[in-house]
Amino acid sequence: MLSIRIQEDDFDPGLIYNLVGKDRKDIGAKVAFTGLVKDFFELEEVTSLYIEHYHSMAKTQLKNICQAALERWQIKEIHLVHRFGLLKPGDNIVNLVLASHNRSDVFQGGTFIMDYLKSDAPFWKKEFNRKGSAWVNQSLADIQKMDSW
């Protein structure tokens, strides 16, 4: 099962985590990943983070990335949510839950999806603090992580 949502509204990572695979008896391993707004990154003392996105392409790309993971590993369920709009430090940005027979499939599948999402999904972050604002730059480390697959 593959569920992908792109939304402005918040979500509840714990609630999603508990719902994935509920009542199934063939799930031996689940992994959740949540990306959150930090109060520092390119700027210090970040007061808010704006996430812009290219909606139609983002939906296609997230689906492609998840499909690639489903083909590569034994994964029973993938639930992915990515937010856009104006967020604050501590807010949820992205949430991924995978369920499978085995732990290595969910750990590897989860790492793979997040690595590709960071380099292939059209979302952009702009940080704001009291002094001004700055678009976040793509990190070389993120490109290398994707290329390592």
Partner 1 sequence: MQVYYFSWVREKVGTGQEEIQTNSNTVKDLIDELSLKGENYTLAFSNLEHIKVAVDQVFVSDFNHPIKNAKEIAFFPPVTGG
Binding site for its own copies (CB under 8 A): 12-18, 21, 23-41, 89-90, 101, 103-104, 106-107, 110-111, 114, 141, 145
Min CB(42)–its own copies separation in Å: 13
Told to check if 103 binds partner 1 by CB under 8 A, we report yes
How many residues touch partner 1 under the rule CB under 8 A: the total is: 28
For 96, half-sphere exposure in the C-beta direction (CA atoms, 13 angstrom radius) is: 22
Told to check if 79 binds partner 1 by CB under 8 A, we report no
57 binds, among its own copies, partner 1, none (CB under 5 to 8 A by kind): partner 1
Query: How far apart, in Å, are the Cα atoms of 77 and each of 28, 58, 62, 74, 105?
Result: 12, 20, 15, 10, 11
| Comparison of 88 and 103: residue with beta carbon closer to partner 1 | 103
The candidate with the shortest Cα–Cα distance to 129, out of 89, 79, 80, is 89
Told to check if 92 binds partner 1 by CB under 8 A, we report no
The candidate with the shortest Cα–Cα distance to 4, out of 113, 118, 138, 124, is 113
The candidate with the shortest Cα–Cα distance to 149, out of 124, 114, 123, is 114
The candidate with the shortest Cα–Cα distance to 71, out of 32, 30, 112, is 112
Which residues inside 15-34 make contact with partner 1, applying CB under 8 A?
none
Contacting positions for partner 1 (CB under 8 A)? 35, 51-54, 56-58, 60, 82, 93-94, 103, 114, 117-126, 135-138
